Amino acid sequence: MTLYELIKPLLFMLSPERAHSIAIKALKFGFLPASRAPVSDRLSQTLWGLHFPNPVGLAAGFDKNAEVFGPMLRQGFGFVETGTVTPLPQPGNEKPRIFRLTEDQAVINRLGFNNQGLEKYIDRLKNRDKGTGIVGANIGANKLSEDQIADYVIGLKRVIGLADYFTINISSPNTPGLRALQSREALDDLLSRLKAVRDQAESAISVPLILKIAPDLNDAECEDIAQIILKHEMDGLIVSNTTLSREGLISPLRTETGGLSGAPLFDLSTTVLSKMYKLTDGKIPLIGVGGISSGKHAYTKIKAGASLVQLYSALIYHGPDLVNQINRELEELLKEDGFSNVTEAIGIDHL
């Protein structure tokens, strides 16, 4: 029995937000020992000039304020995405705002980009040891902002040079009007302005800009997004954020407002991932997110077109040992299918 399995009943007696706060403190003070991550040439790859020791990353939302990216990298993740951070600190929505749907192995949240703001976030990233692993920055807009696009511009200007890649989060359902930025004209404007910021930056290396989209897009919206990101030569696409769908849920908490993540999101997010791979002709690296809790899940995303994958909600139910379990399972699946490296399996379901 793992340490997490021993303490999980105690953590589940607490509210999800309280349990998360305890986890962050335990990581900050070194109470969670580093894990022996499997080292494998079969799992490693170089993407955007960055060396990923394995394709399994920690999704944004866990380390909102860039407090524990180092300890989480030491748990075995191939990369860690911090944030979402907004220009100004904000408390987020009223509590309670996170709900465990245990019967569905899912989570509903309506946090609303609660975070300490750019100043503290930047201070922590400035002090990071870049040799410890790949760290991404997920940037968003303040709830009361009169110009949401300007918030993204501010975020990128302030943080550029401090993270290895940047995720443009325009797909959270918990900030009013945010998902409207996925529309064709608004997205075109947003990406034009952000690319201008990057092109004008003093950094000698052109850091990757990655767009994070919702799983609730229709075919026409997917086509529009594909055309715009190809036009702007975006570096990557994360598919997907949480969903507003409640299809198939059995938990009494299924009617809570917010974005749904976890196991029920797997099929929907994988379908959209596959669709975006086709629409972009495999020209843009994709990061598959949504419902991953096993090596088989990760492998399915990769075969559907993902170069990398991310998880978060599954950690709530399975603990941090899950990441190394997924990597071990994924390596075995690649080996069984005769692949010497994970890159050989990307998008093979489309062949």
Assess contact for 256 and 227: CB atoms under 8 A: no
Report yes or no on whether pTM surpasses 0.95: yes
d(CA 75, CA 70): 9
* CA atoms of 257 and 242, how far apart (whole Å): 12
Catalytic residues: 172
pLDDT values of the chain reduced to their tens digit, one per residue, 351 residues? 788 999 999 999 999 999 999 999 999 999 888 887 778 999 999 999 999 999 999 999 999 999 999 999 999 999 999 999 999 999 999 999 999 999 999 999 999 999 999 999 999 999 999 899 999 999 999 999 999 999 999 999 999 999 999 999 999 999 999 999 999 999 999 999 999 999 888 665 689 999 999 999 999 999 999 999 999 999 999 999 999 999 999 999 999 999 999 999 999 999 999 999 999 999 999 999 999 999 999 999 999 999 999 999 999 999 999 999 999 999 999 999 999 999 999 999 998
Whether residue 208 is preceded by a cis peptide bond, meaning omega within 30 degrees of 0, is: no
Q: What is the pLDDT of residue 38?
A: 75
Long-range contacts of 8-15 (CB under 8 A, 24+ apart): 8/319, 12/100, 12/102, 15/95, 15/96, 15/98
Domains and CATH numbers, the chain: 32-350 (3.20.20.70)
Task: Determine the 3-state secondary structure of 246 from DSSP.
Answer: coil
Q: DSSP string spanning 62-127?
A: SSTTSSSHHHHHTTT-SEEEEEEE-SS-B--SPSP-EEEEGGGTEEEE---S-B--HHHHHHHHHT
pLDDT of residue 205: 65
Tell me, what's the pLDDT at 114?
98
Distance in angstroms between the alpha carbons of the first and the last residue of the chain? 41
Q: Which residues pair with 167 in a beta bridge?
A: 138, 210
In angstroms, the CA 18 to CA 11 distance is 9
